Structure 1
Amino acid sequence: MIDVLMMPGTFCPHGGDNISEEFLRDLDPARFTTRIVDYPAEYGSPGTYADSRAAGREALLGAIGASPNPVLLGGYSQGAQIAGDVAAEISAGRHPELEVRGVALIADPSRPHGRCAGADPGGWGISGERDTGIPTWWAAAPGDPITALPAGNPLRSLADMTEFYSLSSPEAVAHWAQTMLDTALSRSMQPWWTLDHWQDWGGAAAWMKGYLTDGRHTTAYLAEGHCKALADAVNQELS
Structure 2
Amino acid sequence: MIEAMSQVTVLAVGGTGESHPDDHRRHVSGLLSEVTGALDERFASRWVGYPASYGPVAAGGLSYRQSTEVGVERLIDAIEDAPGPVMLIGYSQGCTVIREVLGQIATGALRADNVSAVGLVSDPEQPAGAVPGCSGRGVAGVGAPIPDSVPVQWIAHPDDMICNASEDSYVRDIADLTRSMSFRTLRTWLAHTWVLLRHNSFQNAGKTRVSPRQWRTDLRRLRTAVNEVLGYLPPRLAWRGVRVVNARGGRHIAYASEPLDASGLTGCQVLAQWLQVRATFDAPLRVAA
The reply to whether TM is greater than 0.5 is yes
Structure 2 unaligned residues grouped into runs of 5+: 1-6, 209-213, 235-248, 260-265, 283-289
- 1:101 match: secondary structure: strand
Whole-angstrom CA distance in 2 between matches of 1:222 and 1:181: 41
Whole-angstrom CA distance in 2 between matches of 1:34 and 1:220: 19
Question: Segments of 4+ in structure 1 off by > 3 A?
Answer: 197-200
CA pair 60-217 structure 1, distance change in 2 beyond 3 A:
same
Q: Which moves more between the two structures, 75-84 or 91-100?
A: 91-100
> C-alpha displacement at 1:30, in angstroms?
2.9
CA pair 72-220 structure 1, distance change in 2 beyond 3 A:
closer
Whole-angstrom CA distance in 1 between matches of 2:226 and 2:194: 25
Q: Check if 1:20 corresponds to 2:32.
A: yes
> C-alpha displacement at 1:186, in angstroms?
3.3
- 1:227 is matched with which residue? 268
Structure 1 unaligned residues grouped into runs of 5+: none
RMSD over aligned Cα atoms: 2.1
CA pair 159-194 structure 1, distance change in 2 beyond 3 A:
same
User: C-alpha deviations, 1:43-74, integer Å up to 9, x for none?
Assistant: 11321111110100000000001111111111
Matched length:
231
Whole-angstrom CA distance in 2 between matches of 1:182 and 1:223: 41
> C-alpha displacement at 1:191, in angstroms?
2.1
Residue from 117, 142, 145 that aligns with 1:129: 142
Contact (CA 8 Å) 1:152, 1:193: kept in 2 or not? no
- 2:88 match: secondary structure: strand
Whole-angstrom CA distance in 1 between matches of 2:64 and 2:254: 23
- 2:10 match: secondary structure: strand
- 1:209 is matched with which residue? 230
- 1:124 match: secondary structure: coil
> C-alpha displacement at 1:87, in angstroms?
1.4
User: C-alpha deviations, 1:77-129, integer Å up to 9, x for none?
Assistant: 0001101221121122111255311111111100111113xx43221100113
Q: Which moves more between the two structures, 197-206 or 3-12?
A: 197-206
Residue from 34, 37, 47 that aligns with 2:62: 47
User: C-alpha deviations, 1:160-179, integer Å up to 9, x for none?
Assistant: 111111234xxx33332221
> C-alpha displacement at 1:206, in angstroms?
1.4
* TM-score normalized with structure 1 length: 0.88
Whole-angstrom CA distance in 1 between matches of 2:188 and 2:106: 32
Whole-angstrom CA distance in 2 between matches of 1:223 and 1:173: 39
Whole-angstrom CA distance in 2 between matches of 1:228 and 1:21: 11
- 2:11 match: secondary structure: strand
Q: Check if 1:141 corresponds to 2:161.
A: no
> C-alpha displacement at 1:228, in angstroms?
1.1
Whole-angstrom CA distance in 2 between matches of 1:223 and 1:4: 23
Contact (CA 8 Å) 2:29, 2:47: kept in 1 or not? no
Q: What is the identity, as a one-letter code, of the residue corresponding to 1:181?
A: W
Whole-angstrom CA distance in 2 between matches of 1:212 and 1:230: 24
Contact (CA 8 Å) 2:79, 2:112: kept in 1 or not? no
Give the greater-gyration-radius structure (CA).
Answer: 2
